[in-house]
Amino acid sequence: MEGHEPKGAIKNQIDKMERLTEEDFDKLIITMKRVRRSLRVDSMDVFKCSRCGSIYHTKPKFCGSCGLELF
């Protein structure tokens, strides 16, 4: 189940938050950060080259991979 539905796994952890150890809670936070980062790849905060699919976190004028001008 882990890795399949990352948000669901996090919700399960949060449901039993009061029973988590400090160590498990730290792991949960790390997992949440990692999942959030992976989900944000498809968010509005990144720019994707329409030709080659390269992803940029700040918008470049031209794609560094294929040279396409990005608008």
Question: Given the rule CB under 5 A, which residues bind Zn ion?
Answer: 49, 51-52, 54, 63, 65-66, 68
Separation of first and last alpha carbons in the chain: 40
What are the Cα distances from residue 9, in Å, to 5, 14, 31, 47?
Answer: 6, 9, 10, 29
Choose between 12 and 65: whose C-beta lies nearer to Zn ion.
65
Choose between 8 and 53: whose C-beta lies nearer to Zn ion.
53
Choose between 38 and 50: whose C-beta lies nearer to Zn ion.
50
Strand positions, DSSP E, the chain: 47-48, 55-56
CB of 55 to Zn ion, least distance (A): 10
